[in-house]
Amino acid sequence: MSEEQGLTVKKSGNFSEWYTQVISKAELADIRYNVKGFLVHRPWSVKIMKNMYSLLERELEAKGHEPVWFPSVIPESFFEKESEHAEGFKAEVFWITEGGSDGKKFEERLALRPTSETAMYTMFALWIQGWKDLPMKMYQSCQVWRYEGKATRPFIRGREFFWIEAHDVFATEREALAQVKEDMETTENIVHKMFCLPFLFLVRPKHDTFAGAVNTFAADSVMPDGKIIQLPSTHMLGQNFSKAFDIKFLDENEKKTHAWQTCYGPAVWRIFGAVVAMHGDDKGLVIPPAISAIDAVIVPIMFEKDRKEVSEKCEAVKKSLEKVGLRATIDARDNYTPGWKYNYWELKGAPVRIEIGPRDVKAKKVVLVRRDTGEKTSVDEKNAAEEVRKILEGTQKSIMEKADGFFQKNIRDASHFNEMKKLLDDKGGLIRTNWCDKQSCADDIKEKAQADIRGTLFGKTEKIFNKCVVCGKEAKSVVYVGRAY
């Protein structure tokens, strides 16, 4: 592989350029579509994201969620029913105002969905009548569109992105709060254990709550450049939307009562960007085997005289892997050298490379190369499938441990404003500090440190260890501060 085809910068030296090159050279997306914030997604990224979707969908359905598909357009009148929500999203909406060759104006503007609360809850009000209809737990995997005014970045910030949104309705507040905990468990089981992305599940401050929600809870992680990225978020909606959309049910005492609601949004598109950024190295992608597009790539090493026997051995090894459920492909392209292929599949992040040459055929061996560590071993061909499975298990564990270690190192304490700002300037990450709970101090952090209060730990009250980091007055809570994308 030529220098132009491989990465030309180190991840630690210029993360931004490294990320840009990986997106392009690993063939994840093409930004040349010429509409700001809209990507052409290439097969490799789509295959990985489909695996991510599958794991999340399976987890949601195992926990009682049913799949639905809602229209991608929402009448403006739906938005207006919940005033705070409408105000919060007004600046982000793409509006459709006309149609047909004659440009006929619509009687009512249609929004390309930025999120689906207003669309779904209009129907929930029709579907829910009595307490036996509850709980109602539904999700859809879809695209959403938001008129992002800031600079866009592939898979991190865009105007069209792919996600899952789960919307749940309950008879009681207690059940709704239990759903928030369940959403955190889903995030741990899939985002952390499968995607290998560590996070803190934080309760956002009131001034940073989702429009129309009572409380917002979000999983925040730290990227290699020290910036914070929000992964899934969960919103406790209380009865705000059920009152706005008249979602009532007849309880066991024959009394009409407004329901309690939550919504959960694993942003698969952005989480994929975090996977690329967190795990990749100077050779390219490193993808957790749980979501990789393939498990192993087989690279033949052959000359014309031994082409037949090497090709047959590659096919036999491929079948032995597939027989036990492993996904394998043979790179039999004649116009590239084995060395070029090694670099190519390292750039793509294939977890295991299997090399088979004439000597290996004669010795009844294959060479296994582990992507994340580069470790190379020669094993008996009859044991290839078992050894590949062991490598995949070890890789999954190792990637998660490495990411966890990085994350923990990037959570630091600060007692004073200048100390906090210096840590943010020098290293970024999440800064654990103390806050008086006044928005004026949060505003000062935003203005003077170019950072945000991300929130307090969910489900845990941490011990205050100093005065408010801004005003020096009595602190009310321990919060985490960071600079987000």
Tell me the two tokens of residue 362.
């004669």
Question: Same domain for 43 and 159?
Answer: yes
pLDDT at 7 over 70: yes
* Helices and strands (DSSP H and E) totals, the chain: 14, 23
* 3 state SS for 56-109: HHHHHHHCCCEECCCCCEEEHHHHHCCHHHHHHHHHHCEEEEEECCCCEEEEEE
pLDDT at 133 over 90: yes
Question: Same domain for 372 and 337?
Answer: yes
Exposure class string for 233-264: b at 16+ Cβ within 10 A, else e: bbbbbbbbbbebbebbbeeeeeeebbbbbbbb
The pLDDT of residue 4? 63
Residue 290 covered by a domain: no
Give 397's DSSP letter: H
* Closest C-alpha among 289, 461, 470, 256 to residue 370: 289
φ and ψ of 452, to 5 deg? -125, 150
CA angle 163, 195, 460 (to 5 degrees): 90
Give 463's DSSP letter: P
The pLDDT of residue 303? 83
Question: Same domain for 126 and 231?
Answer: yes
The pLDDT of residue 2? 54
User: 1 pLDDT band (50/70/90 cuts)?
Assistant: low
- Which residues have C-beta within 8 Å of that of residue 330, sequence separation ≥ 6? 297, 298, 300, 314, 315, 318
Residue 92 covered by a domain: yes
Question: Same domain for 78 and 214?
Answer: yes
Single out the residue in 228, 244, 279 at which a domain terminates.
279
Residue 9 covered by a domain: no
For the chain, what is the domain count?
A: 3
pLDDT at 79 over 90: no
Question: Same domain for 81 and 193?
Answer: yes
Q: Containing domain of residue 343, as a range?
A: 296-391
Residue 3 covered by a domain: no
Helix (H, G, I), strand (E, B) or coil at 385: helix
The pLDDT of residue 436? 97
* Closest C-alpha among 269, 14, 296, 288 to residue 160: 269
User: 83 pLDDT band (50/70/90 cuts)?
Assistant: confident
Question: Same domain for 327 and 457?
Answer: no
User: 89 pLDDT band (50/70/90 cuts)?
Assistant: confident
CATH of the domain at 434: 3.30.110.30
* Closest C-alpha among 259, 266, 264 to residue 121: 259
User: 87 pLDDT band (50/70/90 cuts)?
Assistant: confident
pLDDT, the chain, mean: 95
Question: Same domain for 124 and 259?
Answer: yes
Alpha-carbon distance of 326 to 201, in angstroms, equals: 34
Q: What value does the mean pLDDT take over residues 398-419?
A: 98
pLDDT tens column, 173-216: 999 999 999 999 999 999 999 999 999 999 999 999 998 899 99
Residue 144 covered by a domain: yes
With a pLDDT cut of 70, the percent of the chain lying above it is: 99
Tell me if 328 sits within 8 A of 385, measured CB to CB.
no
With a pLDDT cut of 90, the percent of the chain lying above it is: 89
pLDDT tens column, 248-272: 999 888 899 999 999 999 999 999 9
Question: Same domain for 44 and 140?
Answer: yes
Helix (H) or strand (E) holding 224: none
The DSSP code sequence of 422-437 is HHHHHT-SEEEEEE-S
Question: Same domain for 250 and 340?
Answer: no
Single out the residue in 358, 391, 424 at which a domain terminates.
391
pLDDT at 446 over 80: yes
Residue 403 covered by a domain: no
Residue 286 covered by a domain: no
CATH of the domain at 57: 3.30.930.10
Task: Determine the distance from the C-alpha atom of residue 282 to the mean position of all C-alpha atoms in its chain, rounded to a whole number.
Answer: 22
Q: What angle separates helix 268-279 from helix 384-409, to the nearest 10 degrees?
A: 90
Q: What angle separates helix 268-279 from helix 43-62, to the nearest 10 degrees?
A: 120
Residue 288 covered by a domain: no
CATH of the domain at 335: 3.40.50.800
Residue corresponding to tokens 């806050």? 435
The pLDDT of residue 91? 83
Of 88-97, 160-169, 224-233, 427-436, the poorest mean pLDDT is in 88-97
Q: Which residues pair with 215 in a beta bridge?
A: 236
Q: What value does the mean pLDDT take over residues 25-44?
A: 94
Question: Same domain for 211 and 343?
Answer: no
Question: Same domain for 327 and 355?
Answer: yes
Question: Same domain for 75 and 187?
Answer: yes
The pLDDT of residue 107? 93
Alpha-carbon distance of 469 to 479, in angstroms, equals: 10
